[in-house]
Amino acid sequence: MSPRVRTWSLLGLFLLLLAIPQLLHLLSDAGLQFVGTDSQATDAIGQLASDYRPWIGNILPVPEGEMEGLLFLLQGGLGTAALFYCLHRSRRSGGNE
């Protein structure tokens, strides 16, 4: 397989993998919402024990809005950097670490 065909095949596969979740979401119920596990857990605790009170609070104030998204992106970026750093070190050393 030539490099050009392989590149276009991989690009097509990538775009297909991006499109499948979007199409499934569009074809499902219109009222479907993506809800995080934090809110699901809070709702479940409220149903099981309505008098529950957390035993510890937040150490730092919880950011809202754009700051929350920025911290999420920062966390993902640092994780990606750490992953690729480890992959680079293992490839450079021949995988002997």
Residue 37, CA distances (Å) to 6, 19, 42, 47 in order: 39, 24, 8, 15
pLDDT band (50, 70, 90) for residue 30: low
93 within some domain: yes
44 within some domain: no
pLDDT in tens, 37-77: 777 888 888 899 888 888 888 787 877 777 878 888 899 99
55 within some domain: no
42 within some domain: no
97 within some domain: yes
Find the angle CA(94)-CA(11)-CA(18) to the nearest 5 degrees: 105
Q: Residue 5's domain spans which residues?
A: 1-30
72 within some domain: yes
3 within some domain: yes
pLDDT computed for residue 97 by the predictor: 47
12 vs 43, more confident: 12
38 within some domain: no
Q: Which residue has the tokens 């021949």?
A: 94
Q: How many domains does the chain have?
A: 2
